[in-house]
Amino acid sequence: MTRILIIYHSQTGTTEKMAQAVAEGVLIIENAVAILKKARDATLDDLLGADGVAIGTPENFGYMSGMVKDFFDRTFYGAQDKVFRKPYVIFISAGNDGTGALRAIERIAQGYKFKLVYDPVISRGTLTKDDLVRCRELGSILAAGCQTGIY
């Protein structure tokens, strides 16, 4: 069974809708399961037990949400040398352009030695149906790649 951990934070519900779409995409892949966790509830064990990770955040003041950063703070040292090249993807709900949040996550992911495996989905402004389609695709691609050993 391929396990995809979807970690997210959402205050307005937009990033949560994106996370749910990523989970729907994961479930399209046979023998794949989506573990959908709010960042505050996600643990080191969740991270270590996952074959791949999807990280979702709103853009807050040009940065990732504090709760997503808190997840990274809580798991970094325990994950060192245990998540080398773990495949990951990013989805962002942005009121601006999302690039600050994206850069911050990518920088931290380098410290974990994660491997970015697909282009991030950044929803700018109002969430659209196309954004949700891209999130489903993100989940499917991550799960399929983990399952087949491409990543």
Query: Per-residue pLDDT tens for 6-43?
Result: 999 999 999 999 999 999 999 999 999 999 999 999 99
Cα–Cα separations (whole angstroms), residue 138 to 6, 25, 45, 55, 101: 11, 7, 23, 11, 18
Q: What percentage of the chain exceeds 70 in pLDDT? A: 100
Provide the pLDDT for residue 34. Answer: 98
Which residues in 44-125 belong to E strands, given as ranges?
Answer: 52-58, 87-94, 115-116, 121-124
DSSP letter assigned to residue 68: H
* Per-residue exposure over 92-122, b if at least 16 CB sit within 10 Å of its own CB, e if not: bbbeeebebbbebbeebbeebebeebbebbb
pLDDT at 53: 98
Q: Amino acid identity of 131?
A: D
Query: For residue 35, what pLDDT is reported?
Result: 98
Reply yes or no on whether the pLDDT at 96 is more than 90. Answer: no
Residues 82 and 46 sit within 8 Å (Cβ to Cβ): no
2-148 is classed in which CATH architecture? Answer: 3-Layer(aba) Sandwich (3.40)
* Mean pLDDT estimate for the chain: 97
Distance from C-alpha of 74 to C-alpha of 18, rounded to nearest angstrom: 24
